[in-house]
Amino acid sequence: ATEGRLTGRPGVSLATCGPGALNFPNGAEYAHLGGFPLVMIAGQKPINSSLHGHFQVSPLVSVMEGLTKYAVQIGSVQMIRPVFSEAFRIAQEEKQGPVSVVIPEDIAAEECEEDEL
């Protein structure tokens, strides 16, 4: 949030999956109230299949919806580019503020063609 407050350009924050990403709400609210552009990127356990079931899977989009201008989980590798383009656009448009993007491990690990990114 400080990068956005000082420069007007979105700051970027990264968090691990599940409970680690649940540290984002305080920063999101600070950025929301102050009008600071911020893109928060959180990992998530696999959504298509997982040996661990739903261990450490948190409802990150639901948690962040009321605190951000935009909260989304990427559901396929083809969504990566459009979601991030939209996230940065929304973070910077008036009134500037935070957005949240969740990337499941299985989607992040997928092979893709260069033109898909």
pLDDT tens digits for range 7-27: 889 999 999 887 788 899 999
Domain 2-110 has CATH 3.30.70.20: no
Sign of CA dihedral 52, 58, 62, 64: negative
Domain ranges of the chain: 2-110
Q: Return the CA Rg of the chain.
A: 14
For a pLDDT cut of 70, what percent of the chain falls above it?
Answer: 86
Specify the pLDDT at position 105: 87
Question: Which whole-number Å values give the CA distances from 31 to 2, 26, 27, 97, 98, in the listed order?
Answer: 8, 9, 6, 6, 6
